[in-house]
Amino acid sequence: MSVLKADICVIGAGSGGLSVAAGAVQLGLSVVLIERGEMGGDCLNRGCVPSKSLLAMAKKGMTFHQAHQHVQQAITTIAPHDSVERFEKMGCTVVRQPARFIDRNTLECGDGQTIRARYIVIAAGSRPHIPDIKGLDADKVLTNETLFTLSEKPKHLAIIGGGPMGVEMAQAHTKMGCRVTLVTCGEILPRDDRDCVDSVRKALQADGVTIHENTVVYKAIFGKTPSLKTSAGIIEATHILVATGRTPNVDTLNLNAANIKYDGGGIIVNKRLQTNHSHIYALGDIIKDGPQFTHAAGYQAGIIIRNICFRLPAKTDYTSLPWVTYTSPELAHVGMTETEAERRFSRHKIRVLTKNIADNDRAVTEGIDNRMIKIVGKTNGTILGVSIVGDHAGEMLPLWILALQKTMTMKDIAGLILPYPTLSEIHKSVASEWYKDALFSDKTRFLVRWLQKLPSF
């Protein structure tokens, strides 16, 4: 049995693992990259790329078959960037086998190859979570792993789950002419601001999606016609999509052999993304209580590179971590919601300001209405969180991400000079309105009148 030695061994070639491997090898370290499945991981093959491609084509009015052709084309176009050939050309040794720990420094791959590394980075990702519902057969339902390979349009798609995946695919399929029913045990998009979610809910319903919130699914039945027995009644459908979250891929790695701490929620890490062994790191969907976004995995990869390559004690800080739900309208968010701010600070110390984007001149010229921006901050102007609902909301969010990263205040945003007419002017407008009451108060008017008595200069 041969032994392959390296500075870093990365398990998993999804977005996070690829970023660590690319950064480390280009900084001169020897890297072994292990991937048992498809290069690019979930994001490229079954997640962000296919889902957003499908959504984009649905919004353009493409047929089901046209949309799915575009999905495959998008994956094919991006795949070379994540390919074995590209990473081998960089200098990585790529092993296409499953890996399991033998001890804290050693891994065994499926072909008998043994790998020893000074540092090990676990980026093995996650898989669709199948909820414990009576009769629910994982082989008879769709998940993100099988949805994008459908050859025929579902006549009636029933979706279990009201998170981003559920609502995005609900809207995409209804726009492509499918009948869609969405069932969720709580409210849709539970992590987002309730006022903003209401705008998305109304848009989904206007598109024709039937939504059953706060509804329990008691049983799945797979007879001639698949159906769900729920607290809202029987839902018959031609296809059932399960979009109820993710399960970390911890079960095949033999983590116990390395005495790595984990549980059903994933691998336990500190803020430096180290496990209970300082030379073993984990990132992405496989870590416990971590944010499950592609951009979060990319950020985490940078933290690990700084720790390993530059010996800097870099730590994660998710204060300015954004997310976007790519429905029409989009819902973009960064920082705290109003509910989170109230929970952390007393109510009298925070202020909430909501402004309709339809008041913006560019929105008037474009015919945009029923869109909004909601700012949550401290009464002193400190920005705590921002939610935006509207077309291209995700593209409007970066200013507020930067503001949170740099601890800017509403005064900083109000002082910006922005081009006219643009949607971005809404940022300056809402920030200026934050100070409106104080600026035009009786005290300020008194001061202005008093200053007029002074000699001109």
pLDDT at residue 371, rounded to an integer? 85
- Mean pLDDT along residues 364-390: 91
Structural domain boundaries of the chain? 3-39+83-128+247-308, 138-244, 329-439
Q: pLDDT tens, 48-57?
A: 999 999 999 9
Query: Looking at 126-199, which runs of residues are DSSP E strands?
Result: 126-128, 156-160, 179-183
What is the arithmetic mean of pLDDT over 232-236? 97
403 pLDDT higher than 70? yes
CATH class of the domain at 3-39+83-128+247-308: alpha beta
**Residue 276 tokens, joined:** 């209970």
DSSP string for 391-437: TTHHHHSHHHHHHHHTT-BHHHHHT----SS-TTHHHHHHHHHHTHH
Model-level pTM? 0.94
Q: Which CATH number fits domain 329-439: 2.40.170.20, 3.30.390.30, 3.40.50.1370, 1.10.8.50?
A: 3.30.390.30
Tell me: the pLDDT tens digits for 82-132? Answer: 999 999 999 999 999 999 999 999 999 987 889 999 999 999 999 999 999
- The CATH homologous superfamily of the domain defined by 138-244: FAD/NAD(P)-binding domain (3.50.50.60)
179-183 and 210-212 beta bridge pairing: parallel
Residues 311-342: tens digit of each pLDDT: 999 999 999 999 999 999 999 999 999 999 99
d(C-alpha 278, C-alpha 119), whole Å: 9
pLDDT in tens, 170-196: 999 999 999 999 999 999 999 999 999
Instruction: Inform me whether the pLDDT recorded for 216 exceeds 80.
Output: yes
Q: Which of 107, 86, 87, 88 is nearest to 98 (CA)?
A: 107
- Short-list 210, 202, 154, 147, CA closest to 177: 154
pLDDT of residue 1: 60
Mean pLDDT in residue range 444-457: 87
pLDDT in the model for residue 396: 93
Q: What pLDDT score was predicted for residue 370? A: 67
Q: What percent of the chain has pLDDT over 70?
A: 100
Q: Greater confidence, 62 or 2? A: 62
